[in-house]
Amino acid sequence: MSSSARCWRPFERTFAITTALSVVAAVWRWIAVVTVLLTLVGERRARAGHGARAGASRRQVGAMMVAEAALLGLASTAAGVAAGLVVGVILVEVVNRQSFGWSLGLELPWADVAGLAAWVVAACVLAGLAPALAALAVQPAEVLREER
């Protein structure tokens, strides 16, 4: 094995850790979004009935559910950016210093973060469409009768 191949091993290990952390974070976020939306499905049925009782149209109740999903996407993106900053600082300031004895400059790719945020919010809105469409089919009188 050449000396240049051995020289690159620490870099490859560092980036392997970064890739693994990215995959774990993506799976975690997906599970969190699915879990939250599934948990709210039962609550949404009653909310649709109460919204109609308060004078909201079914379309307004559905729009509220889609907006809630979009806010979930924004909140998860904010949490992801915060976690990414922490991991980035640890990799740059701790791992690189211990592995190589020096550190790199930390540059933040804000354009990539903004693009990813748009994708996350769009995915959450799409995930929120199914409960919103189900809310359009809810008969308010039936829901209110079930609560008695």
Map out the domains of the chain as residue ranges. 23-147
Tokens of 122: 């769009």
pLDDT string in tens for the chain (148-residue length)? 566 667 677 767 777 787 888 888 877 877 776 677 667 766 666 666 666 667 777 778 778 888 888 898 899 889 988 998 898 888 888 887 888 888 778 788 889 889 988 988 888 888 778 777 776 776 666 666 666 6
In DSSP notation, 33-64 reads HHHHHHHHHHHHHHHHHHHHHTT--HHHHHHH
For residues 138 and 58, the answer to whether their CB atoms sit within 8 Å is yes
Per-residue burial over 66-85, b = 16 or more CB atoms within 10 Å of its CB, e = otherwise: bebbbebbeebbeebeeebe
